[in-house]
Structure 1
Amino acid sequence: MSRPLLHLKAGAIAFTLLWTAWMMWWSAPYSSANLVILSLLGTVVGYLWYRAMRWQFERMGMLPRKDDSSRAS
């Protein structure tokens, strides 16, 4: 795992877990289908959050760009 992305990935996992837990708590009926759907949606939302934050941090210069890492090798 890339060192600069370690905190971003940990934040994305935490965001995914918190978002999924909040949505499960907010939706009252606890059926198995509801839990599966919310878990899948939580995974998608967490991944999209990770991609958006990575793009934003690269744009702001807080992370190295993808093409910069290939030149350093």
Structure 2
Amino acid sequence: MSRPLLPLKAGAIAFTLLWTAWMMWWSGPFSSVYLTILTLCGAAIGYLWYRAMRWQFERMGMLPRKDDSSRAS
């Protein structure tokens, strides 16, 4: 795990947990199927959030681009 991405990955995990908890609280009655679906959706949302933020931070120059690390080798 590269060090510049560590805060971004931690933020994605926190976002995933908060989003999933909010959706579970907001949904009302609990069932095991509904909790499983919300957990899977939360994981997908967290991954998409991570990819979008990584792309945006690379565009803004706050993270090194993938191409830059391959040229240095």
TM-score category by the smaller chain? over 0.9
TM-score by length of 1: 0.98
Q: Distance in 2 between matches of 1:17 and 1:61?
A: 28
Take 1:55 and 1:23, find their aligned partners in 2: how far apart are those partners?
A: 26
Q: % of aligned pairs identical?
A: 85
Which 4+ residue blocks in structure 1 deviate beyond 2 angstroms?
A: none
What's 1:38 paired with?
38
Q: How many residues are aligned here? A: 73
Distance in 1 (CA, whole Å) between partners of 2:60 and 2:42 is: 27
Could you tell me which runs of 5 or more consecutive residues in structure 1 were left unpaired when the two chains were aligned.
none
**Unpaired segments of 5 or more residues in structure 2?**
none
Hey, what does 1:3 align to over in structure 2? 3
Q: How many angstroms apart in 2 are the aligned matches of 1:36 and 1:72?
A: 44
SS in 2 for 1:30: coil
Structure 1 residue 5: Cα displacement: 0.3
TM-score, structure 2 normalization: 0.98
